[in-house]
Amino acid sequence: MKFINFINNLDKRWIYLILALCIIIPFLFPVGFPMKTTPPVKSIYDFIEDSIPEGGVVLIGADYDPSTMAELHPMAKVVAAHALSNNLRVLFVTLYPQGAGMAQDVIDNVLREWNKSNPDNPKELGKDITLLAYVPGVSAVVLKMGEDILQTFNEDGYGNKLSELEVMKGIKNYNNINLMVELAGSSVVLTWLIYANGRYGLKMGIGTTAVSAAEYYSYLQSKQAIGMLGGLKGAAEYEHLLDEKKVYGGRKDASIGMDAQSSAHIFFIILIILGNIAYFVKKRKEGK
Amino acid sequence: MAISTNFWIWIAALLTLAIYSFLYKDNPFYKFAEYLLVGISIGYGISIYWHNTIITKVYNPLVYDKNFLVLIPLLLGLLMFSRFFKNVSYLSRIPIAFVVGAGTGLSVPSSFEFLFKQIYATMPLKLDIGSLIIVVGVISTLVYFFFSLEHKGFVGKVSKVGITFIMVAFGAAFGYTIMARVSLFIGRIQFLLSDWLGIIK
Amino acid sequence: MLKRTLLLILFLILSISLFSENDSLIFLENQFPCEGFYITGRDIPNDGGSGIEINWSFPDSLDNCFLTVLRRDEFGNNSVVATDLLVSSKQVRDVSSDEEPSRVKDGIKYYYTGILSKKIIDENLLNILKEKSYLKNGTYIFNNDTFYVTSETDAVISKASWFNLSRIPVLISLIIIAFVFLYYLNLAKSGKELYIRKINGLDAVEEAVGRSTEMGKPIMYILGIGYVTDIPTIAGLTILSRVSKKVAEYETKILVPSYDPVVMTTAQEVVKEAFTEAGRPDLYNKNDIMYITQDQFGYAAGVDGMMMREKPGAVFLQGLFFAESLILAETGHSIGAIQISGTTETAQLPFFVAACDYTLIGEEMMAASVYLQKEPMMLSSIAAEDLLKVFIMLLIIAGFVISIFAFGFNIGLFKNLFDHLVNALQV
């Protein structure tokens, strides 16, 4: 009984502290929990790997900000690196002002890491990868891109005229884009699904935060999206798949965190069990 | 690797710690970091809007391309500010009417197409236990959100099944949410241990 | 000597000719393996005009080639539609664009030619091709690069469509729904009572207020962080009216900490009116409905602090909630209050379900406010929505039954039927 009272009256700060330790310790002493790739992740990977010819275009939507960066940033990096490794062209697009900073950081990072590990096949900004300038309007932007991408943006995110960039050669609208991977933790995913996929038939994959993952499963089932990366785990699975190809030496942000994620989950499961026992015992005692 | 010598990484790390200090208790460091965030995000937003809207969508077409049609949406946009003056505030309804009208026109057909796609997805394209569960889940959940009938007898039983499905979905969402929150924390810890302190690679 | 000079001259001529030939087109017969490659053009169906769609069919071997599409109009003007498209993209649309002066215009005849190359097309070549009035179908060489010119398409004329025929099912559904809604609206206005079921959480309102009064504790009503324009906030205000009426009847106190000044003013009006209706305007205290701050977590911290100090016996969380939902619900739970929550934010509902005694889930919250207000417009929209749900259910059940006959018993007739049904849904 003492124990039950202890649980019910536990100061929350103890839980915070233990949780912090659960996360920090695996970073210092990695265990390497086994990783299994799930079908929604694999189908995006396979699509980029097998279904897009060389020179094809992958559009990545960076519609997130620092608050969900921990989950979505690793996805952006790994998908972009994978596309580059297959000699595809990568375009970043964002419907939110803060997304531009995120995308630029990804581009810098991926280009630097790629050129470090593949000096014989260097990639260049403006030739292989770029960011389309941020233009306000959300759904209006998505719709206009279906007609003419160059006109929607005019410039890239670095102030260059899009029509002069090599990476934009032959790209007119969604017809010339082989796959879009939308990374967002908000309902902007729906905007892309409704307008770009629904109206223009753009092939789409979703990368989303774990919070929204459950919600977007239904769009996988309806085949509106070909696959989904859900949370840090989804990013880690993708890193795992790309790692088997051994072409990219960038840091595996998501995979490093997986041990910590697993140990935190174990801690939470224990808490939920203890909490429920305490709740039912207390309820029973009060009932008597 | 060693501790970072980059000034900005230090700033980022100290601000992260300031925010986390709230977990112990509310304090001035936390408040400072919070207000800083609010201020910066507004400032950043304004600068982006200035460059990407006012300059590229209004100033450039007007000054360089002499495209005077831009004046129409500009005028409509300016009318929004009439809300600040009581006697002409009704003028702001004109641009709102445009936005609402165009928005509804755009979204109604698209929403229907979206609904159709979801109904299509519920259709059992092959007969297996998975599609049966989906059909039962969708129908019973719809029955739960049925307000014109008392939840008694058969309808009551079906809606019970519906609420069970809803709760299972909530459970899954809850689990995912825990995972997401942990991921966010991991992202920060990774930053602190690797970019700032250089303890891990 | 002469022989040498002649040889030298011959050599010079040859080399000049070779050099100059390098920069001009050399026509070869069919050497590029392009059998089976041809392009077709047609007006884009169901569009607003000024658009032509160019499609091409190709054998798999040409998957990685590039295609450049040229356009010639009936007056003989040439222009480039698109360069270096991946052959695998199968289609390009020649649509009007504001920047291009030579855009597609309705009613003019256009002819399209495709140029297939293994490498990205040369800028000089493009200029040469633009000058030519007509290129014969076949293989050419330019600067040692081989490319293939398709035969020209037949004349294509673009036109605007009045209707997007592919959306007829949408139009039909829209008409049906509008009709159903208007029918119920008429019914409601003519005085017929439209039935709406009791919402479980609402029954608990009385219990919560009553118990709180017994304990001598106030009631707290949190409207979340929405604005008056948000539907859940409006629904929350309607439910507030009901709750405050009960509060007035029980002669207890209600606290409404607000996030938005406009919501606060509205809440004050709502509570005042409810107290007056209950015959106790004297109990109304304007200061109990106060403004906290318009900062999400600042608001959460403020409300939390107030909860810890005032220890309300019942807490209502009705409105729009985001990440602060659990912070509020958890504090309410820790002080042992009865909690009744409601929101449309699906991501927050699990937290409410876990931490509160009753939760109005999504549409239930709207229905609850309609139940309390019984306004014809809202009642009829609930009734129409319900009918629509029935329609969707029937459609799904029909699809399920048909698929049992089609796939389970393998009956061809049902397979056709199922295909028709599925096609109608794929707008």
Q: Specify the pLDDT at position C20.
A: 45
The pLDDT confidence band at residue C250, using thresholds 50, 70 and 90, is very high
Q: Specify the pLDDT at position C9.
A: 61
- What's the CA gap between A244 and A241, in Å, rounded? 5
Residue A86 in contact with residue A247, Cβ under 8 Å?
no
DSSP letters for A112-124 = HHHHHH-TTS---
pLDDT tens for A147-199 read 889 888 888 989 898 888 999 988 888 988 999 999 998 778 988 988 888 87
Say if residue B7 is exposed, middle or buried (CB neighbours under 10 Å; 0-12, 13-18, 19+): exposed
Are B135 and C400 within 8 A, CB to CB?
A: yes
Task: Retrieve residue A277's tokens.
Answer: 């026992």
- What's the CA gap between B120 and B143, in Å, rounded? 19
pLDDT tens for B165-196 read 999 989 888 888 888 888 889 988 988 998 89
The pLDDT confidence band at residue A288, using thresholds 50, 70 and 90, is low
Please give the residue that has the higher pLDDT: either B137 or C37.
B137
Q: Specify the pLDDT at position C21.
A: 43
Q: Specify the pLDDT at position C17.
A: 46
> CB-side exposure of B189: number of CA atoms within 13 Å?
24
Question: β-strands C138-142, C26-28: how paired?
Answer: antiparallel
Task: Retrieve residue A244's tokens.
Answer: 């088997």
Is the confidence at residue A106, as pLDDT, over 60? Answer: yes
- Amino acid at position C409, single letter: F
Residue B38 in domain = no
CATH number of C24-157: 2.60.40
Residues of chain A numbered 10-39 and touching chain B (CB < 8 Å) = 13, 16, 19-20, 23-24, 27-28
In chain C, % of residues over pLDDT 70: 90
Is the confidence at residue C133, as pLDDT, over 70? Answer: no
Phi first, then psi: give them for residue C327, nearest 5 degrees: -60, -45
- What's the CA gap between C106 and C47, in Å, rounded? 12
Identity of the highest mean pLDDT range in A149-163, B99-113, C133-147: A149-163
The dihedral of CA A129, A130, A132, A134: what is its sign?
Answer: positive
Burial C148-168 (b: 16+ CB within 10 A, else e): bbbebbeebbbeeeeeeeeee
Q: Which residues of B touch C383 (CB under 8 A)?
A: 148
Residues sharing a CB contact under 8 Å with residue A65, sequence separation 6 or more, in sequence order: A96, A98, A99, A102
- The boundaries of the domain holding residue B134 are 126-201
Alpha helices (H) along C338-408: 349-355, 363-373, 376-403
Is the confidence at residue A107, as pLDDT, over 90? Answer: yes
The pLDDT confidence band at residue C427, using thresholds 50, 70 and 90, is low
- What's the CA gap between C167 and A121, in Å, rounded? 47
- What's the CA gap between A6 and A20, in Å, rounded? 21
> At CB < 8 Å, which residues of chain B contact A?
23-24, 41, 44-45, 48-49, 52-53, 56-57, 106-107, 110-111, 113-114, 117-118, 120-121, 134, 169, 172-173, 176-180, 182-190, 193, 199-201
Q: Specify the pLDDT at position C29.
A: 58
pLDDT tens for B66-89 read 889 999 999 998 998 887 888 888
Please give the residue that has the higher pLDDT: either A212 or A124.
A124
Are A231 and B185 within 8 A, CB to CB?
A: no
Is the confidence at residue C415, as pLDDT, over 50? Answer: yes
Q: Which residues of A touch B186 (CB under 8 A)?
A: 23, 70, 232, 257, 260-261, 264
Q: How close A164 gets to chain B, by Cα (Å)?
A: 18
**Chain A neighbors (3+ CB pairs < 8 Å):** B, C
Task: Retrieve residue C143's tokens.
Answer: 């600067």
Closest residue in A to B186 (Cα–Cα): A257
Is the confidence at residue C64, as pLDDT, over 80? Answer: no
Q: How close A114 gets to chain B, by Cα (Å)?
A: 18
pLDDT tens for B1-52 read 578 889 999 999 999 999 899 888 878 998 898 888 878 877 887 887 788 7
Mapping DSSP to helix (H, G, I), strand (E, B) and coil, where does residue C274 land? helix
In chain C, % of residues over pLDDT 90: 30
pLDDT tens for C297-341 read 778 888 988 998 999 999 999 999 988 898 899 899 989 999 999
Are A221 and B134 within 8 A, CB to CB?
A: yes
Q: Specify the pLDDT at position A80.
A: 95
Q: Specify the pLDDT at position A74.
A: 93
Residue entry with tokens 């690679």 = B201
The sheet carrying C289-291 orders its strands as: C289-291, C254-258, C219-224, C314-320, C338-343, C358-361
Mapping DSSP to helix (H, G, I), strand (E, B) and coil, where does residue C177 land? helix
Question: CA separation (Å) from B161 to B136, C201, C348?
Answer: 9, 19, 22
Closest alpha carbon to B189 in B181, A15, A81: B181
The pLDDT confidence band at residue A11, using thresholds 50, 70 and 90, is confident
Residue B201 in domain = yes
Residue A257 in contact with residue A31, Cβ under 8 Å?
no
- What's the CA gap between C224 and C315, in Å, rounded? 12
Closest alpha carbon to A177 in A49, A63, A81, A91: A91
Residues sharing a CB contact under 8 Å with residue A148, sequence separation 6 or more, in sequence order: A172, A173, C95, C97
Q: Which CATH number fits domain C200-373: 2.40.30.130, 3.10.580.10, 3.40.50.300, 3.40.50.720?
A: 3.40.50.720
ipTM over 0.85: no
Q: Which of C83, C90, C98 sits opposite A151 (nearest CB)?
A: C98
Q: How far apart are the first and last CA of chain C?
A: 83
Say if residue C299 is exposed, middle or buried (CB neighbours under 10 Å; 0-12, 13-18, 19+): buried
Q: Which residues of A touch C126 (CB under 8 A)?
A: none
Question: CA separation (Å) from A197 to A40, A55, A201?
Answer: 18, 22, 4
Say if residue B4 is exposed, middle or buried (CB neighbours under 10 Å; 0-12, 13-18, 19+): middle
pLDDT tens for C43-60 read 888 877 788 888 888 887
Least confident interval from A124-128, B16-20, C287-291, C371-375: C371-375
Residue B92 in domain = no
The pLDDT confidence band at residue C22, using thresholds 50, 70 and 90, is very low
Q: Specify the pLDDT at position B133.
A: 92
DSSP letters for chain B = ------HHHHHHHHHHHHHHGGGT---HHHHHHHHHHHHHHHHHHHHHHIIIIIIIIIIHHHHTS--GGGHHHHHHHHHGGGGGSGGGGGGGHHHHHHHHHHHHHHHHHHHHHHHHHHHHHHS-SS-SHHHHHHHHHHHHHHHHT--SS-S-HHHHHHHHHHHHHHHHHHHHHHHHHHHHHHHHHHHHHHIIIIIIS----
C227 touches chain B (CB under 8 A): no
The neighbour count for residue A288, using CB atoms within 10 Å, is 4
Mapping DSSP to helix (H, G, I), strand (E, B) and coil, where does residue C84 land? strand
Closest alpha carbon to B11 in B191, B200, B138: B191
Task: Retrieve residue A135's tokens.
Answer: 């233009």
Residue B118 in domain = no
Mapping DSSP to helix (H, G, I), strand (E, B) and coil, where does residue C426 land? coil
Residue B62 in contact with residue B70, Cβ under 8 Å?
yes
Q: How close A276 gets to chain B, by Cα (Å)?
A: 15
Q: Which residues of B touch C397 (CB under 8 A)?
A: 135, 139
Residues sharing a CB contact under 8 Å with residue B78, sequence separation 6 or more, in sequence order: none
Residues sharing a CB contact under 8 Å with residue C225, sequence separation 6 or more, in sequence order: C259, C260, C296, C299, C319, C320, C321, C322, C324
Question: CA separation (Å) from C143 to A176, B84, C128?
Answer: 28, 67, 13
Alpha helices (H) along C289-357: 296-310, 325-334, 349-355
Provide the mean pLDDT of chain C. Answer: 84
Closest alpha carbon to B188 in B5, B18, B32: B18
The neighbour count for residue A173, using CB atoms within 10 Å, is 20
Q: How close C418 gets to chain A, by Cα (Å)?
A: 17
Is the confidence at residue B111, as pLDDT, over 70? Answer: yes
- What's the CA gap between C16 and B145, in Å, rounded? 84
Q: How many domains does chain B have?
A: 1
Interhelix angle A231-245/A39-46, nearest 10 degrees: 50
> CB-side exposure of B82: number of CA atoms within 13 Å?
16
Q: How far apart are the first and last CA of chain A?
A: 15
**Domain spans in chain C, listed from the N-terminal domain onward:** 24-157, 200-373
Residue B36 in domain = no
Q: How close A278 gets to chain B, by Cα (Å)?
A: 20
Phi first, then psi: give them for residue C250, nearest 5 degrees: -85, 0
pLDDT tens for C162-215 read 888 878 888 888 899 889 999 999 998 888 888 888 888 888 888 899 999 999
pLDDT tens for A38-75 read 999 999 999 999 888 888 899 999 999 887 888 999 99
